[in-house]
Amino acid sequence: MTRILPPRRTFADREDLLGAVMLGPALAYVILLVGVPFAFAIALGFSNATAGSLSFGWAGLDNYVAILGDPIFLRALRNSVVVTVGSQVLVVVLATAAAQVFRATFRGKRFARFVLLLPWAVPVSLAAIAWTWIFDSTFSVINWTLKAAGLLHGWLYWLGDPALALLAIIIVQAWRIFPFATVIVLAGLSSIPQEIVEAAIVDGAGFWRRLFRVELPLLLPVVAVAVLFGVVYTATDLGVVYILTGGGPANTTHVLPTLAFQRGILGADLGQGAAIAVFLLPFLIVVAIGMLRLAHRTEVGGTR
């Protein structure tokens, strides 16, 4: 005999209700912990609120006028752009190269892949502290290595020189994002049909032509997504710069998040801090839309 199932619709049958209930927690999380603070930050940017006071007066565009006239802010804005673009260029090159290496079969590949992913898994603060030692003015392993190899005659004060410090920041940011980008590019590479690569080989294309004319164009949507993630991660990151240079020497290496933290939290000027923090938002949105459209436009719709 078959078991008689309940004749009425149970809760599990009510897809409308079930959907709402299951979506609820995630929605609440996003609204309460991301949406509200975000809206609050935008509102703060137009206020003269300060830490330690409950007053919340409308200040209009005063905060924005103030920061736009502030050379430290302009420097931080420029640094943000330089660090983001510089690190992502480095990431794309390194990730593409690393993906080519990891596509080959070799002994210890699994271990190498595990090691590759480490920078991605290590907490930012921990990694940044390790890097402060690597760039240390006395103990810098880079300097000692270069010296031992006979390539360095003077001495590099990595975190003491504004240009070198910025380069150090770019290196660390690239180091942090690049494993993730490699994994994405690797996945993209394996999605290119083997026959297309072989067709290119038979058609007489060498390694570089295959890379630049066949593989990279087909990888473009995937690389665009990787870069988009990288841009967002780098442009919004506080930890690396804060630990590595603290914005120094003499406020020359601030990026927007560190400057916002310094002005808004340490300096108690919540309004100006918020204005600095959300300043990049419109640009990031434009970048995000542009990259997603690029990814969509070049997407390979079925290779057959």
Partner 1 sequence: MAGIEIRSLTKHFGDLHAVDGVDLSIRDGEFLVLLGSSGSGKTTLLRMIAGLERPTSGEIHIGDQRVDGDVPPRARGIAMVFQSYALYPHRTVFQNIAFPLEASRTPRKQIEEKVRWAAEMFSVALCRALVRDPKVFLLDEPLANLDAKLRNTARDDLKRFQRQIQTTTVYVTHDQVEAMGLGDRIVVMEHGKVRQIGTPQEVYEDPVDTFVATFVGQPPMNLLDTGDPSLPPRTLTGFRPEHFLPKSVFGTAEELHTFRFAVRRVEYLGSDRYVYGSVAGGAPAADATIIAKLPATIALAIPEGETHEFAVPRRALRYFDPDTGLRRKG
Residues within the interface to partner 1 (CB under 8 A): 193, 195-196, 198-206, 209, 213-214, 217-218, 220, 298, 300-301, 303-304
Nearer to partner 1, 209 or 296 (CB): 209
CB of 112 to partner 1, least distance (A): 24
CB of 110 to partner 1, least distance (A): 21
CB of 211 to partner 1, least distance (A): 13
Nearer to partner 1, 85 or 300 (CB): 300
Nearer to partner 1, 13 or 203 (CB): 203
Main-chain phi, psi angles of 157, to 5 degrees:
-95, 80
CB of 227 to partner 1, least distance (A): 18
Nearer to partner 1, 78 or 296 (CB): 296
CB of 275 to partner 1, least distance (A): 43
CB of 109 to partner 1, least distance (A): 19
Rounded CA separation 76/238 (Å): 12
Nearer to partner 1, 252 or 298 (CB): 298
DSSP for the chain, please give it.
-PPPPPSS--GGG-HHHHHHHHHHHHHHHHIIIIIHHHHHHHHHHTB---TT-----B-TTHHHHHHHT-HHHHHHHHHHHHHHHHHHHHHHHHHHHHHHHHHS--TTHHHHHHHHHHHHHS-HHHHHHHHHHHT-TTT-HHHHHHHHTT--SS---TTTSHHHHHHHHHHHHHHHHHHHHHHHHHHHHHTS-HHHHHHHHHTT--HHHIIIIIIHHHHHHHHHHHHHHHHHHHHT--HHHHHHTTT-STTSS--HHHHHHIIIIIS--HHHHHHHHHHTHHHHHHHHHHHHHHHHHT------
Nearer to partner 1, 137 or 191 (CB): 191
Nearer to partner 1, 129 or 199 (CB): 199
CB of 198 to partner 1, least distance (A): 5
Nearer to partner 1, 201 or 288 (CB): 201
CB of 92 to partner 1, least distance (A): 18
